[in-house]
Amino acid sequence: MKTILAAYSGVLKGTGSSILSSLQDVPSALWPCSSKMEKHLQVISVLQWVVSFLAMGIACTLLLIYMFCTDCWLIAALYTAWLIVDWNTPKQGGRRSSWVRNWTVWTYFRDYFPIRLIKTHDLLPSRNYILGYHPHGIFCFGAFCNFGTEATGFSKKFPGIKPSLATLAGNFRLPVLRDYLMSGGICPVNRHSIDYLLSCNGTGNAVVIVVGGAAESLHCAPGMNSVTLKNRKGFVRLALQKGSDLVPVYSFGENDAYRQVIFEEGTCWRALQKRLQKILGFAPCLFYGSAWGIVPFGNPITTIVGEPITVPKIEDPTDEMVDLYHGMYIRSLQCLFDKYKTRFGLKESDILHIQ
């Protein structure tokens, strides 16, 4: 009881240091189990991101339509008018918020797996970069945590570099979700948006492109080391046109977040997935996780940022030039994978499959 009274007197003193020191003296038996509470917070932080990404845009669109039929129609009208005025902002660098990127919730998100970011080489603030992220996985947890938040300390590890994670342009047509994504520095993966970041936004920009995209997510499964890259050359051509250096990035454990039902090629279910992928822009995967089927498995994800490949600026690169740098990128990615694979649970005999 004396210890609790001492803590209370510390609160009355009003200084942050006295409050913390007094509370630290309270026996741990008087508090709920901190490890269990932290685990719950970690699950909630991951769940809010998954649900937000899957449902926030649709839910807010339906809410906006409903509000037009209520006494709140004026609020809906004002927001819609502002949405029209602000429509091109995602294509013009977005509206990132350091406050949102540094939310405490993202540290719980990071610690759930946990997610780590490893730097192998410096990135110069005087250059612009295109980071190719591999593999896609189901939700790109590693890409979001490392480049859409400051939970793993990107800005401290790469001072002077502003990361912009590129995702489906359709997400930026949905109310509220678009603002949520932009606050983390996330941008549409289209030509206008990336052109602006690499041409009209100075230097020190790093556009992160998940090269394999929706097609790659259909093949992801625990223990699978496969990337869709062989015929993906658009990002290399863009790097040449803008004179932006290429940086391979590989996340060990990204494919271990969920289990997926993979349909064989030629089946009607596989054909349906590919058809919906072309229509919607994303692949409707049949996946499941640990809790309620939607919470991912808590397996470590380690993201390695590789060595930059210096790229010259060529406004109209030939196909031969694109193939040359595309080949250099593939070899650099393979070397990155081979160098670090045994440190993160893989065997020396495991190889990276390029599709």
Residue 10 lies in a domain: no
* Cβ atoms of residues 196 and 94 within 8 Å: no
CATH number at residue 294: 3.40.1130
Rounded to an integer, what distance in angstroms lies between the CA atom of residue 314 and that of residue 296? 43
pLDDT at 90 over 60: yes
Residue 27 lies in a domain: no
Phi and psi at residue 249, to the nearest 5°: -130, 130
More confident residue, 110 or 20: 110
Residue 130 lies in a domain: yes
pLDDT at 21: 46
pLDDT at 32: 53
Residue 196 lies in a domain: yes
pLDDT at 33: 65
CB count in 10 Å sphere of residue 249:
24
C-alpha 287: how far from its chain's center? 19
pLDDT at 41 over 70: yes
Q: What is the mean pLDDT of residues 32-53?
A: 89
Q: Tell me which residue of 118, 116, 122, 130 sits closest to 307, measured CA to CA.
A: 122
Name the amino acid, one letter, at 308. P
Rounded to an integer, what distance in angstroms lies between the CA atom of residue 336 and that of residue 352? 10
Taking only the tens place, the pLDDT of each residue in 277-291 is 777 667 677 788 887
Q: What is the mean pLDDT of the chain?
A: 88
- Minimum mean pLDDT range among 27-31, 133-137, 187-191: 27-31
pLDDT-derived band at 8, boundaries 50, 70, 90: very low
Rounded to an integer, what distance in angstroms lies between the CA atom of residue 28 and that of residue 30? 5
Rounded to an integer, what distance in angstroms lies between the CA atom of residue 188 and that of residue 166? 5
CB count in 10 Å sphere of residue 320:
7
Name the amino acid, one letter, at 265. E
DSSP 88: T
**CA torsion, ordered 41, 43, 49, 51, to nearest 10 deg:** -120
- Report the length, in residues, of the chain: 355
* Cβ atoms of residues 208 and 133 within 8 Å: yes
Taking only the tens place, the pLDDT of each residue in 167-183 is 999 999 999 999 999 99
Q: What is the pTM of this model?
A: 0.87
Q: What is the total count of domains within the chain?
A: 1
Rounded to an integer, what distance in angstroms lies between the CA atom of residue 219 and that of residue 136? 10
Q: What is the mean pLDDT of residues 31-48?
A: 85
pLDDT at 22: 44
Residue 236 lies in a domain: yes
DSSP state letters, 177-226? HHHHHHHTT-EESSHHHHHHHHHSS-S-EEEEEETTHHHHHTT--TT--E
pLDDT at 28: 45
DSSP state letters, 221-289? -TT--EE--TT--HHHHHHHHHTPEEEEEEEETGGGS-EE-PPPTTSHHHHHHHHHHHHHSS----EE-
For residue 134, what are its two tokens? 């591999």
pLDDT at 147: 98
More confident residue, 19 or 58: 58
Rounded to an integer, what distance in angstroms lies between the CA atom of residue 226 and that of residue 33? 41
- Minimum mean pLDDT range among 126-140, 263-277, 289-303: 263-277
Strand partners, 247: 131
Name the amino acid, one letter, at 240. L
| Radius of gyration of the chain measured on its C-alpha atoms | 23
* Cβ partners under 8 Å of residue 173, min gap 6: none
Residue 169 lies in a domain: yes
Residue 222 lies in a domain: yes
Taking only the tens place, the pLDDT of each residue in 308-345 is 999 999 999 999 999 999 999 999 999 999 999 999 98
* Cβ atoms of residues 115 and 151 within 8 Å: yes
Note the maximum CA span of the chain.
79
Give the residue numbers spanning the domain of 286: 35-345
Rounded to an integer, what distance in angstroms lies between the CA atom of residue 314 and that of residue 279? 34
Residue 254 lies in a domain: yes
pLDDT-derived band at 15, boundaries 50, 70, 90: very low
pLDDT-derived band at 223, boundaries 50, 70, 90: confident
